[in-house]
Structure 1
Amino acid sequence: MARMSYISSVERYHEYEHVIHSLLESILMSIEDGLTKERDTRYLIKQYPFLELQYCLNAEGLQQGNNVCFKRAYSKKLGESGNQQDLSERPYFLNAKASDKVCFTDPYISIATNHLCISAIKELKKPINNQHYLVVDVSLTQLIEFVMGDTARANMSPYFKAGYGIIVACLFCLVLFLLNIVFSDIYALLTHVDTSSDPLEPFSIIIYITLALAVFDLGKTILEEEILMHKDIFRHSSTRRTITRFISTVLIAISIEALLTMFKAALGQSEYLMPAIAMMLAVVGLLIALAIYVYLGAKAETLLMRARLKQKSSK
């Protein structure tokens, strides 16, 4: 499954804004207290993998010294730059000058890393070497994963994708195998015309086509849900979407099979009548069960959202 999308990251940020701000305030206090040595920087990276950059500004908004880069991937690119950069017009600096509290930016795309991030700025109680303000940039997606306890699962995402990719490849290979049978039977049917042949023989081709369609749709659903798209496991709507798509695929396959069986019964093979009716009833039952599941799931999520809004408003 893909990492958290920008929309999901911003939504989660506003949902856990108070917790995130409290966490960043504590990190800024730790850095201010002297956790800027190499040993302590490694400690911060280990404890808080969402940290990206740290730098200081003077009273006029000029950066003092180069960036302290927490990410190895950006250390060469960003670790030796930034000194005397003029940031006096940045909104977070203007807000910090007008307030004695820790200030935070809204989520934005970082020019340095091209990732969605937020910045926190704090005025130093005891300025050192003309350093009056401490600024920390953090990756918003990784920060939310950290707050929600989802970091380990997110780091395992590439391996999950590889597993799902193998499964999808096997399903698509099965589709090709079924289509090969279909094309072979169609070719045999068109080139060997026999008036005494079974009139129901073409239905076997349709069965193979239907099975290939169902398998292909299943592989496509897994590919989209588990590899290409972000799936928020903390929201019931994501699970409901996956189950709905899967059951829809099963419904289509069973409906076509029931229709073909009904055609066989109509052409004289009455022993297929009851199985066709049973499959039709199974389709109706699945459809009703799916409608109830979607309705109750959506209603439950609406109630949860209302409860969260009431909880926020009470604070």
Structure 2
Amino acid sequence: MVIREIQQFSEVRTRARAYLCYLFTRNIPNRMPEPNLDVISASLDKIVHEVEEFEALYLLDNKGDQVINNITDDPHRKGGLGQNRSGKSYYYRAVREKRCVLSDPYPSTLTNDLTVTASYPIYDEQGILKFIACIDVSLEHILKIAHPSSLQSVFGKSSQVIYTVFSLCLLAIALLLLFNGMRSLFMHGFEFNLLDIKAMFESTILVTLSLAIFDLVKTIFEEEVLGRNEKDEGGGMHKTMVRFLGSIIIALAIEALMLVFKFAIIDAAHILYAVYLLGGVTFLLFGLAFYLKSIPQKRDS
């Protein structure tokens, strides 16, 4: 997922920049008396053998014009000589910051995939900018390079599949609860005068539980599969927990109320069980209130 990959890139950006800039500084001589285009091109060829997957290596002059064709294994990506890239962020940031920089992800003109570019300014011995060496690497591959281990990447993809399966299972349960709730409500068609209180209560409980589970599925799928982690003050997971617990409390309160009416009419001796259930609902309300109160304290600490 693109959103998840961009979030992962923001986490490993420092390591990715350090790695690519290390390749530049180790292979390309800087502060030479007269930087030679042939020497720098040969140095770029060395980098080709150290990076397993890259889109292109190329060299810009101090005005942003490309002075060599793209160095790449794909013949369809060769070319580029004479193109002006002075408007690209990887050019003017390297000029302005006077150091090796790594761009934000952007759609590549070579592959149409998200790509990042590392650019390395090359100066002469007097500190005058002569060239800027650039390397384009796909976002997917830069994540593999900068990730702590390939196992973590594999586990991340596996967890996405697992969370997707669990989300689908919970969604199926929510839909079944909704179906049974609606079936209980429309068991007599649109002749609502034939409905008794018990059927209405049961339908309300089933629909409420269905809504609570669906809300939980929505949060799990968005955060764990799509990677849309909310950063707002309320917190996506906290909101979901409150809604989920609130729905459970409502369902239990309705069930307790239904039992009170049932035992009051049929068997008053068992009404104590309904009171116990109401007590449990009360404890849940206190627990929810404590949870809501503790959230700001945890964030401030």
Which residue identity does 2:297 align to in structure 1?
L
- CA distance 1:162–1:20, shift in 2 (3 Å): closer
- CA distance 1:142–1:3, shift in 2 (3 Å): farther
Q: CA deviation at 1:123?
A: 1.3
Q: 1:203 aligns with which of 184, 201, 225?
A: 201
Q: Which residue of 1 aligns with 2:104?
A: 107
Which aligned pairs between 1:103-182 and structure 2 lie closer than 5 A?
103-104=100-101, 107=104, 109-112=106-109, 113=112, 115=114, 117-123=116-122, 132-138=131-137, 143=142, 147=146, 149=148, 152-154=151-153, 156-182=155-181
Which residue identity does 1:253 align to in structure 2?
I
Q: Which residue of 1 aligns with 2:222?
A: 224
Q: In the aligned structure 2, how far is the partner of 1:165 from the partner of 1:108?
A: 27
Q: CA deviation at 1:256?
A: 3.2
1:4·1:141 contact (CA, 8 Å) conserved in 2? no
Segments of structure 1 that go 5 or more residues without pairing to the other structure are 301-315
Which residue identity does 1:102 align to in structure 2?
R
266-275 vs 278-287, which deviates more?
A: 266-275
Corresponding position: 1:57 with 2:57: no
Higher relative contact order (CA 8 A, sep 6+): 1
Which residue identity does 1:284 align to in structure 2?
F
1:108·1:117 contact (CA, 8 Å) conserved in 2? yes
Q: Per the alignment, in what secondary structure is the counterpart of residue 67 of structure 1?
A: coil
Q: Once the two structures are superposed, what CA deviation does each residue of 1:287-310 show, in whole Å capped at 9, x if it has no partner?
A: 312431x2233213xxxxxxxxxx
State the superposition RMSD in angstroms.
4.4
1:25·1:102 contact (CA, 8 Å) conserved in 2? no
Which residue identity does 1:25 align to in structure 2?
C
- CA distance 1:150–1:108, shift in 2 (3 Å): same
Q: Which residue of 2 aligns with 1:310?
A: none
TM-score normalised by length of structure 2: 0.68
Q: CA deviation at 1:275?
A: 1.0
Q: Which residue of 2 aligns with 1:250?
A: 245
Moved runs in structure 1, 4+ residues, more than 6 A? 94-99, 191-195
Percent identity, aligned pairs only, is 18
1:175·1:212 contact (CA, 8 Å) conserved in 2? yes
Q: Per the alignment, in what secondary structure is the counterpart of residue 102 of structure 1?
A: coil
Q: Which residue of 2 aligns with 1:308?
A: none
Q: Which residue of 2 aligns with 1:276?
A: 278
- CA distance 1:199–1:230, shift in 2 (3 Å): closer
Q: How many residues align?
A: 276
